[in-house]
Amino acid sequence: MTVVDVHTHMIPPSLVETIAGGDGPDGIGVEEQGGIPQLVYADGRRYPVRPIFGDVAAKLEQMDGDGIDVSVVSLPSTHLPYWLDPKETARLCRVINDGMSALSAAAPGRIYGMASVPMNEPRAAAEELRRARRELGLAGLAIGTSVEEIGLDAEELDPIWRTAVELGTPIFLHPYRSMTKEPPAELADFHLSNVIGNPLETFVAASRLILAGALDRHPELTFQLAHGGGSLPYQLGRLDHAYHAVAGAGAAAAKRPLAYLDHFLFDTVIFEPRALEYLISLVGAERVVFGTDRPFEMADLSGTAIAKTASRCDAERILGANALEALGIEPAVASERVPDRQRSGL
């Protein structure tokens, strides 16, 4: 059984080096604290870049300990540079993607990088996506749930979606930071901007893609939703009811919300076996993919929950087969992977 982690993050060392060397955009710097570089933003945000984020050997060691064969890595969404001038965003995305390609090349068949593109300049984003896929061989596209104040359903983003379809590109949709940047007072403490805000961001983004007609304009688009789809699977009935019952709620969508589930894959980062069991029953095992959110403190390593809530066949799909098919990737040869008997908790 091949285990594929579709929700895990790395930061290319070349990105940190570019910023530390003075070649980064205004508003982002690098400072060291306790021997660990920190990405420091003009708005006061600080993020330590621990070795596990960029050291391939450390990443592989962690994967082996977790029983994971393949990691599909994306930049943490807090570092997506959508807030910059579009030209600066495009320049930084090239650095990010070159770095993701280097990480992939350092562990072929075990680490696959996802591209970042300048979503705030759609035509440049389409060009960078072509480069990332055709020249760099990156496995897919990772995006935030919004582009600052622009929703993913906006027609101005259509060039990106057309290019993604043209290239057969899977899209990983991850909460951006609309809830953590300026959270409502009720979410400002207890880590609620993450615990509640992140699933809410995904729910809002997916709902708008459905209700605003974006998935009708691009019927071949598929999005992998982080954190089990956020609140979407558990409030889908409410969304569907509003479509039928409230004037204007579904005016732009060709079908009821329940009919769009085939446009989404849902990862397993939800921590609770009963919630995972419900997710599988709602969308089918063929639409669920394994993820961890490593290396963050909100990582979910409950791989045993999958075995408890699914048949052997469904577990094989969820743990790896679905991701391999969706991404069109090949794992490392068996001798280079972790034997099943050595897997921790899977």
Within a domain: residue 255? yes
pLDDT of 342 reads 47
Which pLDDT band holds residue 156 (cuts at 50, 70, 90)? Answer: very high
Residue 219 lies in a domain: yes
Percent of the chain with pLDDT over 90: 86
- Is the residue at 236 inside a domain? yes
CA 155 and chain centroid, separation: 22
Q: What is the pLDDT of residue 344?
A: 46
Higher pLDDT, 251 or 210: 210
- Integer Cα distance of 86 and 90 in angstroms: 6
pLDDT at 109 over 90: yes
State the average pLDDT over residues 283-288.
Answer: 97
Extended beta strands in 64-145, E state = 70-74, 111-115, 140-144
Confidence of residue 341 (pLDDT cuts 50, 70, 90): very low
Q: How many domains does the chain divide into?
A: 1
* 216-244 pLDDT tens trace: 999 999 999 999 999 999 999 999 999 99
Residue 219 belongs to domain spanning = 4-11+56-342
Q: What are phi and psi of 256, to 5 degrees?
A: -70, 150
Q: At 165, list the tokens.
A: 């379809």
**Is 22's pLDDT higher than 80?**
yes
Q: What is the mean pLDDT of the chain?
A: 93
Res 337: pLDDT: 52
Residue range 4-14, pLDDT digits in tens: 999 999 999 99
Question: In the structure, what pLDDT confidence band is assigned to residue 309 with cuts at 50, 70 and 90?
Answer: confident
Q: Let me know if residue 88 belongs to a domain.
A: yes
For the CA atoms of the chain, what is the radius of gyration?
Answer: 19
- CA dihedral defined by 170, 71, 147, 183, rounded to 10 degrees? 140
Residue 49 domain-assigned?
no
Q: Is the pLDDT of residue 339 over 90?
A: no
The lowest-confidence range among 10-19, 127-136, 268-277 is 268-277
State yes or no: pLDDT of 334 exceeds 80. no
Nearest to 120 by CA among 101, 144, 148, 92: 148
303-338: burial string, b at 16+ Cβ within 10 Å, e else: bebbbebbeeebbbbbbbbbbbebbebebeeeeebb
The confidence score (pLDDT) of residue 310 equals: 84
Phi, psi of 188 (to 5 degrees): -75, -15
242 in any annotated domain: yes
Tell me if 220 is assigned to some domain: yes
| pLDDT score recorded for residue 335 | 39
In a domain, 23, yes or no: no
* Helical spans, DSSP H, in 196-256: 197-211, 214-217, 232-245
Query: For the chain, what percent of residues have pLDDT higher than 70?
Result: 94
Lowest mean pLDDT among 132-141, 173-182, 216-225: 173-182
Taking residues 52-73, report their average pLDDT: 98
> CATH code at 262?
3.20.20.140
Cα separation, 226 vs 143, whole angstroms: 11
Q: What is the pLDDT of residue 251?
A: 87
**Model confidence at 177: pLDDT above 60:** yes
Which helix (H) or strand (E) element contains residue 276? helix 273-283
Instruction: Identify the CA nearest to 346 among candidates 288, 300, 285, 303.
Output: 303
* Predicted TM-score of the model (pTM): 0.94
User: pLDDT-based confidence at 303, cuts 50/70/90?
Assistant: confident
